[in-house]
Amino acid sequence: KSSSPVIFKKGINCSIKNVHKLLISVNRKPEWVVGLKEVKYDENKLERVGTKHECILPLNSLYIETAKNKVLENEIIYAETVDPTGIYPAFNQVFILKKLGSNLCCLSLEIHHNSSFLQKYIFETIMASSTKKSLIKFKELCEKENLSIDD
């Protein structure tokens, strides 16, 4: 049983190319993902579909695999599959970037998961708060860096 995804949206004053570059940068995740202490990954492997990394959180780790990285002129879809661990069910994070202007894009994050009613409630309550905070940090980081990145 697949529940409808939890969706978050954020407008970002930054080019879609630069937002995508920051989004797929595994080593930059601790700068914007709330609660993320460290990311472990094979630095010798390029970040592409099938690449896995481990996100170290205060109480556990999440094991994440890049599932999709589709780049079109005005839209980019980047997706990650997260293995089940502890209280978290397996879930997919789908980041959709839509170009709205040369220096403006919209980021939609869809979180898809299959879980029981209780798991769904706990998961969505915990995820909603940290995800909203993370997306605010991500937006601020993109906009700050946009001033110093040549397109």
pLDDT value, residue 88: 74
Are 6 and 12 a contacting pair, CB within 8 Å? no
Rounded Cα distance between 39 and 54, Å, is: 6
Residue 84 one-letter amino acid: P
pLDDT of residue 124: 79
CA separation for the pair 23, 32 (Å, rounded): 10
Q: How far apart are CA 106 and CA 35, in angstroms?
A: 24
Tell me the per-residue pLDDT of 81-134, one tens digit each, with 9 for 90 and over.
Answer: 999 887 778 899 999 999 999 999 999 999 998 877 777 787 778 788 899 999
pLDDT tens digits, one per residue of 43-70 = 887 778 889 999 998 888 999 999 999 9
